[in-house]
Structure 1
Amino acid sequence: MNEVKQTAAEASHHLYPLISDLGLILMTAAVAILLFKKIKQPLVLGYLIAGFLAGPYFTLFPSVQDKHNVEVWAEIGVIILLFTLGLEFSFKKLMKVGGTASVTASVQIVSMVFLGYWAGQFMGWSSMDSIFLGAILSMSSTTIILRAFDELGVKGQKFAGIVFGALIVEDIVAILMMVLLSTIAVSQQFSGMELVESVLKLVFFLILWFVGGIFFIPTLLKKAKNLLSDETLLIVSLALCLMMVILATMAGFSPALGAFIMGSIIAETTKAERIEHLVKPVKDLFGAVFFVSVGMLINPDTLVEYAWPVIIITLLTIFGKTISSTIGALISGQPLKQSVQTGMSLAQIGEFSFIIATLGMTLGVTSNFLYPIIVAVSAISTFTTPFMIKLSIPAYNKLVKILPDKFIKGIESYSSSSQTIKATSNWVLFVRASIIQIIIHSVLIIALILLSSRVLLPMVNGSQWANVAIATATLLCIAPFLYALALRQVATKALSDLKAENKFRAPIRIVNLIRILFGVFFIGFLLNSFFSSLIAFGAVVVFVFVYMAFPKRLQLFYERIESRFIQNFNDRENQEATNSKHELSPWDAHMTTFEIDADLNIVGKPLHELKLREKIGVNIAAIKRGSFTINVPSRNEQLFPNDILYIIGTDRQIDKFKVYVNQSKVTVPENDAETVLKNFELKNENFIGKTIRESQLREKTNGLVVGIERDGQRMMNPESHVILEKNDIIWIVGDKKRMNLITLNTN
């Protein structure tokens, strides 16, 4: 009995510091964030200051007793934070980011990694500290930027779309950096082969997890939809998150990577928004603990000692990221105004920077002074972000006055020419599709073979018949993917066009032969794992003949698998069916949405009576009404409550429209496959010399001509009597299918 009481007393003794420390953290955080909410500052800064007050370097308040417990809570916080970032990420968004955001982010990341490393070396830091500093400075803060955009009301402006796209690219690059930095830290050397192996390993598992996750997880959620209350859905989603954390750790990656991957998989399901809503309180709790734990590491003595490095790195962050992001946007073909706005919006560091700094500390490869320096730089750049965004327009106006006219015209000309649509050749489409086919199915086949040979085979203790049974079962499992890898046609339209044009016949045969050889190699690789080389070779020959004789069943089975994957992948998009944001460079015009409230004075009026184009200069590209969309509405179309208008205009025109309809909320649309905004370079003789009315472009595209560029001059909303000339760049909003049928840029 006494032993039981003693055990209970020990348990309560161990429990007490955990509860008291968590209570101290949350109480301090609550006071800090209430204060920061009152003064309208980012809550992240409140958490950092709360951590400093609860930490060991501030003695006026009670301090945390057991730092190890806080570290465990903080690790959970990182996992939940990365999971929710994954929910907002979505691989489909990455594919839709486009060249502008990709180039902008890439130039900024490469520049800041180099500048950060150079700055570290200049200050006499070690190579590892310098490498981590470069990686830390290359990441911007999604949380801080979103908050600043909301407060300043610029979320619907054109440059905001570029910024959001760049942040998506930065998220995936940050994950890659974490893997590479872990490899460098463990090996303590910069071996090119080790880095290549790490990248290949990451790509292998990313493809495997993503394809497998999209195939199974949406299906699981749909099958169990009647059982998924808020409580069960929260438990299931967190269970899936932690399952992927375990798999990532077993594969040699960080737990944060697994959480991010699972979040990005769930982001493709129809339950994503509901899960994101349910997980938010959990994220807020553990995220607060994480940022408070970061603040606990702030040592005032260290900051005083390293005051100059803090100043240098802060200036490098603000000006380096501004200049590099601006240059990246210019290279991608954006006008000077949007480029400057983009650059000055990305001039800070945030969440991923803390996570990368935490990785360095966890691995024990970075110096103790690096973390508090990064926290100080983040705090300063967080304060400056709203002011940088506000000053972007004055900075642009100043640049226009300072820079030579020749330079400004050169930027405009480059921006204009870079937006001209360039067709991708059929050969490139065929090769690209073949490479994707080979990579994805090779990953799936290798994963199944390794599962059989390294997990199932050791269980049978060398039994020959068991080997035959496992090898046969594995062959049956990989057979559909072998068919897709070796025999299934890809890019069928491009391939038929190439055959009709009698082009690239020999290269096409070579590509198809390579695919077949890959299939034969994987069969041999599997059989060699179970049998001797001679038996494996004979079995390969027999299997190939059998395989070629029964392609129909394999084809049908594979198509069922592919159909399930595609359906799961597009479920969320099909359910939402919202329009995408399209850019109209080199003008400021872009597409955004407005929802019509019942009490607005424009309700019930036809479009021709409102005269929005004449009064404000905006065009209505589409009206979404309930479950259907009216593309390019006629002038007699009336507006009804809860209609969603898809508006094309410049930032200033959209602001005027917002005032006109008394609409306070501007949102950026997500995606739509019907109404699109495209530009064409006019070379077709059938249209040259005709007016816009005579060309019947409206009737042929079910759309509107919203802009023409001619010899560097731009005409927004041209009248119907304007005559079309050769080499005009014509911008049309209209039906996607119809616009794909017209040929303005060919004779």
Structure 2
Amino acid sequence: MNYMVFEIGLAIGLIALAGLLSAKLRFSVIPFYILVGMAVGPHSINWWHFDLRFIESAEVIEFLGRIGVLFLLFYLGLEFSVGRLIKSGKSIALGGTIYILINFTLGLLFGWLVGLPMLEILIVAGITTISSSAIVAKVLVDLKRTANPETEMILGIIMFEDIFLAIYISIVSGLVLSGSTSIGGVVLSALIALGFMLLVLVVGRKSVPFLNRFLQIRSNELFLLVIFAVLFIVAGFSETIHVAEAIGALLVGLVLAETEHMKRIEHLILPFRDFFGAIFFFSFGLTIDPFSLGGAVWLSLGAVLLTLAGNFAAGMWAGHSAGLSPKASVNIGLTIVARGEFSIIMANLAKSGHLLPVIQPFAALYVLILAVLGPLLTKENKHVYAVLDFLFKISAIGSKKAKKAETQ
């Protein structure tokens, strides 16, 4: 018997209950969505008399989750603009380089210290380097921080990460799956990805007067159909040239944010963002096997601590280079600490290449911990900054006393 419609209805009901519980507890909703997905996924205990566990509807829910990522990034782009991005170009490039350099180096070092083979080290470094665009977008929107001065840097780092991801996946997939890779192919892939992003931003900005006239559509139904068509076509085409579809959605949002129809688009798209975004995090939870996590606990905790340290250092350095305040710089590191969809992609690559089986549970537990910690730390950024500021002052006082004692 086909239970697909019932399974999807049940999934939506569970997502709603998770949201109500998080609202009651006044806690970030993202971890609740992920945890409820884990609890009822195909790898979990059979809670249901008919052994449903979202097996028949798994592919449909996964696809709805992919749509959720598109809406999350598209909406985030609407809250920003191409103009602001261009003005911050140099600082974003520098901040992105700093972020990748610190976190990727720490990832390589971590893999080497725990004694992993070379290919596994490369996979682990990829897992620990790239932030979750979807979670970052959700956090920025939920906490109403899209207008904050550090948001430009955060978005820039996300886009910079995607360029790095395009290059890195090309290299690692060649090594893992075939044992070799073409340098020329890797360079070409990176240039295509960068060229596509620049083309969309430049052409899109030049096309704003045309878009203003073209989008003068009275019917909300037709208006949404046009917006959805552009969003899905650009995002889908992005994926064909090895640029993450989520970044394609972000680019569309950045362009449309320049038009006089931005407020109307934002108003109409909001329910779709919330609905499909919730399904994305639930679908991510469905992919995690809770019974495989035990063997990777210490490995995951070590990586989490290293990532927290790396993000703090990268955020402070990138923020300082952009002339941001220490508080805004701390916010950068906290906001982009969450890991998600890209880390899972790297773990799946390791599975396809028949690498050490510990990589899968390591990635799942690592992502889950940071998916919980990331939004929590970002929400409580004032308290985190206060603690760090206090520790810094104590350290400074101690340093002064030590110097004074030396001179006496």
Output the TM-score relative to the length of structure 2.
0.80
Q: Does 1:280 align with 2:270?
A: yes
2:130 is paired with a residue of what secondary structure?
A: helix
Secondary structure of residue in 2 paired with 1:65: coil
Aligned equivalent of 2:54: 64
Are 1:112 and 1:138, in contact at CA under 8 Å, matched by a contact in 2?
Answer: no
SS of the residue corresponding to residue 298 of structure 1 reads coil
Match of 1:607 in 2: none
Aligned to 1:134, which of 114, 128, 137?
A: 128
**2:185 matched to which residue of 1?**
194
1:217 is displaced (CA, Å) by 6.4
Provide the C-alpha distance between the structure 2 equivalents of 1:211 and 1:348, rounded to a whole number of angstroms. 28
- Change beyond 3 A, Cα 1:376–1:56: farther
C-alpha spacing 1:97/1:205, structure 2 compared with 1 (3 Å): closer
CA distance in 2, matches of 1:396, 1:59: 45
Identify the match of residue 261 of structure 1 among 251, 259, 284.
251
Q: Which of 293, 296, 300 is the matching residue for 2:283?
A: 293
Matches of 2:253 and 2:319, distance apart in 1:
29
Q: Is the 8 A contact 2:132 2:340 kept in 1?
A: no
Equivalent position of 1:402 in the other structure: 395
Counterpart among 269, 282, 295 of residue 305 in structure 1: 295
Counterpart contact for 2:318–2:329, Cα < 8 Å: no
> Hey, which of these two has a bigger chunk of strand by percent?
1
Flag the 1:246–1:399 CA change in 2: closer, same or farther, 3 A. Answer: closer
Query: For the structure 1 residues 92 and 298, does the alpha-carbon distance in structure 2 shift closer, same or farther, using more than 3 Å as the test?
Result: same
Separation (CA, whole Å) in 1 of partners of 2:162 and 2:209: 24
Which residue number corresponds to residue 364 of structure 2?
Answer: 371
Q: CA 1:57–1:171 in structure 2 vs 1: closer, same or farther (change >3 Å)?
A: same
Q: 2:373 aligns with which of 374, 380, 402?
A: 380
Name the residue aligned to 1:51. Answer: 37
Q: Distance in 2 between matches of 1:107 and 1:224?
A: 40
Distance 2:261 2:243 in 1: 27
Q: Aligned residue for 2:171?
A: 184
Shift of residue 51 of structure 1?
0.8
Separation in 2, partners of 1:358, 1:81:
18
User: Distance between the aligned counterparts of 1:202 and 1:47, measured in 2?
Assistant: 32
Once the two structures are superposed, the pairs formed by residues 550-565 of structure 1 within 5 Å of their partners are none
* 1:259 counterpart SS class: helix
Judged with a 3 Å threshold, the aligned counterparts in structure 2 of structure 1 residues 210 and 331 are, in CA distance, closer, same or farther, namely closer
Q: CA deviation at 1:345?
A: 5.5
> What letter matches 1:80 in structure 2?
F
How far the C-alpha of 1:385 sits from its partner, in A, is 3.5
For 1:315, the equivalent position in structure 2 comes to 305
Q: Is 1:219 aligned with 2:210?
A: yes
Q: Which residue of 2 aligns with 1:109?
A: 100
- The residue type paired with residue 305 of structure 1 is G
Equivalent in 14, 27, 33 of residue 28 of structure 1: 14
Unaligned runs of 5+ in 1: 1-12, 408-747
Query: Is structure 2 residue 326 aligned with structure 1 residue 339?
Result: yes
Whether 2:86 is the aligned partner of 1:95: answer yes
Counterpart in the other structure of 1:567: none
What's the CA shift for 1:31?
Answer: 0.4
**Distance between the aligned counterparts of 2:204 and 2:81, measured in 1?**
13
> 1:503-556, CA deviations, whole angstroms, 9 ceiling, x for partnerless residues?
xxxxxxxxxxxxxxxxxxxxxxxxxxxxxxxxxxxxxxxxxxxxxxxxxxxxxx
Q: Residues 105 and 252 of structure 1: is their aligned pair in 2 closer, same or farther, counting only changes over 3 Å?
A: closer
Contact 2:92 2:157 in 1 (8 A): no
Residue of structure 1 in register with 2:404 after alignment? none
Q: How does 1:572-587 map to 2 (within 5 A)?
A: none
In structure 2, the residue matched to 1:77 is 68
For residue 173 of structure 1, what is the amino acid of its counterpart? F
Change (3 A) 1:312 1:18: same
1:167 partnered with 2:154: yes
Instruction: Go from structure 1 to structure 2 and tell me whether the alpha carbon gap of 1:382 and 1:246 turns closer, same or farther (over 3 Å shift).
Output: closer
Query: For residues 274 and 136 of structure 1, what CA distance do their matches in structure 2 show?
Result: 33
Q: Secondary structure at the match of 1:41?
A: coil
- Which one is further off, 338-347 or 70-79? 338-347
Distance 1:306 1:92 in 2: 44
Question: Is the contact made by 1:78 and 1:290 (CA closer than 8 Å) also made in structure 2?
Answer: yes
CA distance in 1, matches of 2:296, 2:196: 41
Cα 1:254–1:146 change in 2 (3 A) is closer
Distance 1:193 1:244 in 2: 26
Q: Which structure is higher in RCO with an 8 Å CA cutoff and minimum separation 6?
A: 2
Alpha carbons 1:344, 1:389 under 8 Å: kept: no
Distance 1:344 1:242, change over 3 A: closer
Report the CA distance between 1:356 and its aligned residue: 1.1
Cα offset for 1:133? 1.9
Using a 3 Å threshold, how does the CA distance of structure 1 residues 250 and 386 change in structure 2: closer, same or farther?
A: closer
Residue 214 of structure 1 and its aligned partner are, at CA, apart by: 3.7
Residues 41-70 of structure 1: CA distance to partner in whole angstroms, max 9, x if unpaired?
Answer: 111112112211221233253311222222
Contact 2:132 2:342 in 1 (8 A): no
For the structure 1 residues 182 and 97, does the alpha-carbon distance in structure 2 shift closer, same or farther, using more than 3 Å as the test? same
- 2:384 corresponds to: 391
TM-score by length of 1: 0.46
Distance in 1 (CA, whole Å) between partners of 2:206 and 2:218 is 19
1:136-172 alpha-carbon deviations (Å, 9 max, x no partner): 259783433564577xxxx99xxx52x2222121221
Q: Which amino acid aligns with 1:245?
A: A
RMSD: 3.2
2:166 partner amino acid: V
Deviation of residue 358 (structure 1)? 4.1
Number of residue pairs the alignment of both structures matches: 380
Measured against aligned partners, the alpha-carbon deviations of 1:302-340 in whole angstroms (never above 9, x if no partner) come to 322211122112212222211332233345555xxx325
CA distance in 2, matches of 1:391, 1:252: 37
CA contact (8 A) 2:76 2:141 kept: no
Deviations 1:569-620 (A, max 9, x none): xxxxxxxxxxxxxxxxxxxxxxxxxxxxxxxxxxxxxxxxxxxxxxxxxxxx
Q: Assess if the C-alpha contact under 8 Å between 1:303 and 1:310 holds in 2.
A: no
Question: Is residue 62–residue 283 contact of structure 2 (8 Å, CA) maintained in 1?
Answer: yes
AA of the residue aligned to 2:138: T
Separation in 1 of the partners of 2:163 and 2:303?
Answer: 23
Query: In the TM superposition, what is the alpha-carbon distance from 1:292 to its structure 2 partner?
Result: 0.4
Percent of residue pairs bearing the same amino acid type: 22
Shift of 1:238: 0.3
What are the Cα deviations for residues 424-451 of structure 1, in whole angstroms up to 9, with x where unaligned?
Answer: xxxxxxxxxxxxxxxxxxxxxxxxxxxx
CA distance in 1, matches of 2:387, 2:144: 17
